[in-house]
Amino acid sequence: MKLAEWMDNKLPVIVDTMSRCVNCQVGVNTEKRFNLAGQKAVHAVVDEFMGILFPGCHGHAPLAENHMETMLNVRIRSAATLLAEQAENAFRYQCEFEKCKDCGDCRKKAEEAVMALLESLPNIRDLLQRDIQAAYDGDPAARSLMEIVMSYPGLQAIAIHRVAHVLYQKGVPLIPRVMSEQAHSSTGIDIHPGARIGGGFFIDHGTGVVIGETCVIGENVKLYQGVTLGALSFPKDEHGNPIKGIKRHPEVRDNATIYAGATILGGETVVGEGAVIGGNVWLTHSVPPGAKVYNQQPQPRIQTVE
């Protein structure tokens, strides 16, 4: 039987079965009273904010200095309008999912979140300037600050995180996670939008870094590739469901350095100020300020060839 003939016979049954999933709770977005926030639209918002934070970089055309103010005004208005629309959809979906009453507050909450983000932009820019300088100071291979802006995945990941974190703090559903996963996909760095990260933050190389939702990271912290700041376990309620909203991830205090492959777990685990955690260390308890934590030096066997 040829494909065309097979589809004539079989496809109606398959289509009928698949179309019934319009009533599924997840994985389907149809035109009802509203649409879900669109992944492509959120990605476009991220691209716009990258262009706002780094004018003329990351694929955006250079701006004439005498038109900088005008162009930023236009770009911010455009990004804010698109983000407000997507945030409203996200809030309305959350209300539908949680079976809230139709209070009409979704647009208000969306606009308040966008206004909070716009008011945070100067502070985000200042934090990113510190992040850029930290990367330059911390990497002997860096030849210029613009090299870091244009090519370092750690800076891209933290820039997107700083935008997503403001929206997360304002309770915007879905969108901050879409933003963080966009950064994860393009950089290999997975930072949950709930993580609180101070200025002067530098991720060297970056691939495989994981930073959990309730992580708290202080000022001037440096991480290398493959570092995990994760949960030790997932406490469950009497029904066996994971308990949400509790601190599950470690705190890393100011001026700490964590080398490649280290795994630090647990909501009560604190890496003290100025501590150094060596490569491939597995740590589930706190260490004091200034501590140096290393695995025991291995004894390699060297076989000579006669």
Q: How many distinct structural domains can be found in the chain?
A: 2
Percent of all residues in the chain with a pLDDT value above 90, rounded to a whole number: 64
Task: Specify whether 147 is located in the same domain as 227.
Answer: no
User: What's the 3-state SS for the chain?
Assistant: CCHHHHHHHHHHHHHHHHHHHHHCCCCCCCCCCCCCCCHHHHHHHHHHHHHHHCCCCCCCCCCCHHHHHHHHHHHHHHHHHHHHHHHHHHHHHHHHHCCCCCCCCHHHHHHHHHHHHHHHHHHHHHHHHHHHHHHHHHCCCCCCHHHHHHHCHHHHHHHHHHHHHHHHHCCCCCHHHHHHHHHHHHHCCEECCCCEECCCCEECCCCCCEECCCCEECCCCEECCCCEEECCCCCECCCCCECCCCCCCCEECCCCEECCCCEEECCCCEECCCCEECCCCEECCCECCCCEECCCCCCCCCCCCC
Q: Is position 24 within any domain?
A: no
Least confident of 55-59, 77-81, 105-109, 227-231: 55-59
Q: Give yes or no: residues 167 and 283 share one domain.
A: no
179 and 258, same domain (yes or no) = no
226 in the same domain as 142: no
Q: Is residue 19 part of a domain?
A: no
Q: Are 221 and 156 within one domain?
A: no
Instruction: Identify whether residues 46 and 157 lie together within a single domain.
Output: yes
201 confidence band (pLDDT: 50, 70, 90): very high
> Is there a domain that residue 17 lies in?
no
Q: Do both 114 and 263 map to the same domain? A: no
Domain containing 82: what range? 32-189
Mean pLDDT confidence for 188-202: 98
pLDDT score, position 142 = 95
106 and 223 in a single domain? The answer is no
pTM of the model: 0.86
pLDDT digits (tens, 9 = 90+) for 224-244: 999 999 998 777 788 878 777
Q: Is residue 4 part of a domain?
A: no
Residue 166 has pLDDT above 60, yes or no: yes
Q: Report the CATH number at residue 219.
A: 2.160.10.10
Q: Are residues 254 and 129 in the same domain?
A: no
| pLDDT tens digits, 208-221 | 999 999 999 999 99
Residues 37 and 183 in one domain: yes
Q: For position 177, which CATH number holds?
A: 1.10.3130.10
User: Are residues 122 and 42 part of one domain?
Assistant: yes
Between residues 273 and 300, which one has the greater pLDDT? 273
Does 272 reside within a domain? yes
- Say whether both 182 and 216 belong to one domain: no
Say if 304 falls within a structural domain: no
